[in-house]
Amino acid sequence: MAREVGAGIDVFDVGVGRPTRNLRVEPALDATRFADAVTAGVAAVDALAHDVDLLVVGELGIGNTTAAAAVAAAAHGGDAADWVGPGTGVVDDALANKRIVVDEALVRVRELGDLHSLELLAQLGGTELVAMAAAVAAARHRRLPVVLDGYICTAAVSPLSRAAAGALSHCIAGHCSAEPGHRRLLDAMGLDPLLSLDLRLGEGSGAVAAIPLIRLAAASVVDVATFAEWGVG
């Protein structure tokens, strides 16, 4: 997909084979792993060529809609029923258990009081969520616009929107996925998705699919003929 829209692609391993801790009963990340994930996200953006004009952020992972739902609920309120969906297709008892995990994690975190946005990610997020949030923050420092992918990516940066007004003003929602909490989260963050195709793949795919629309919009702003140039004015 990146090739077809003329984009480059880089993959960064921030924790494959190194599980985080059980968010139900303890912080998902200790201080060292959290700092390492932040460093990885910032370094990924710093490594980009200076002629890059758009950053798409996505992730590869299994089971991380659970962490995403917990982060979204902690940042924007509500309980597991509001934010937990089937993810890769869990139903019935598995879905009920997923909601229990998120609710128990929320009880634990809310007993800690009002946490800073980064503390929420350390308590509930996987290393990929932390790295994406750090990359998006680093992109803002570079004045680099960002296209967000699906539920997990959007949840990762949602605590930043709570921390400071306009923190995500450089971000575009590439699409709205089929995960029920994604639409709720986009509404809470004031983001209008460019596409709504009921995608579930993740991995940056929905955001990449939006790139042609973004290119068309940019061209329409900077390269549109006047009536006079068309000979009709």
Residue 75 in this model has a pLDDT that exceeds 70: yes
Question: Taking residues 188-202, what's their average pLDDT?
Answer: 92
Domains and CATH numbers, the chain: 31-221 (3.40.50.10210)
Cβ–Cβ < 8 Å for 83, 187: no
Question: Taking residues 13-28, what's their average pLDDT?
Answer: 94
Say which of 4, 59, 128, 203 is annotated catalytic: 203
Determine the angle formed by the axes of helices 92-110 and 64-76, rounding to 10 degrees.
40
Q: What's the confidence (pLDDT) of residue 119?
A: 92
Active site residue 59: no
Residue 62 in this model has a pLDDT that exceeds 70: yes
Give buried/exposed letters for 127-166 (b at 16+ CB in 10 A, else e). bbbbbbbbbbbbbbeeebbbbbbbbbbbbbbbbbbbeeee
- In the block, which residue shows the tokens 């710093």? 46
* pTM: predicted TM-score of the whole model, two decimal places: 0.93
Question: Taking residues 35-62, what's their average pLDDT?
Answer: 94
End-to-end distance of the chain based on CA atoms, in angstroms? 41
Q: What's the confidence (pLDDT) of residue 225?
A: 84
Q: What's the confidence (pLDDT) of residue 166?
A: 87
Q: What's the confidence (pLDDT) of residue 116?
A: 83
Q: What's the confidence (pLDDT) of residue 48?
A: 94
Nearest to 166 by CA among 187, 147, 191, 148: 191
Question: Taking residues 163-172, what's their average pLDDT?
Answer: 91
Question: Taking residues 205-225, what's their average pLDDT?
Answer: 93
pLDDT band, very low/low/confident/very high, at 147 (cuts 50, 70, 90): very high
Residue 204 in this model has a pLDDT that exceeds 90: yes
152 to each of 42, 60, 138, 177, how far by Cα in Å?
Answer: 18, 10, 18, 10
Q: What's the confidence (pLDDT) of residue 229?
A: 84
**How much of the chain exceeds pLDDT 90, in percent?**
81
* Mean of per-residue pLDDT scores for the chain: 93
Least confident of 59-68, 136-145, 208-217: 59-68
Q: What's the confidence (pLDDT) of residue 68?
A: 96
Q: What's the confidence (pLDDT) of residue 233?
A: 63
Nearest to 66 by CA among 106, 115, 111: 106
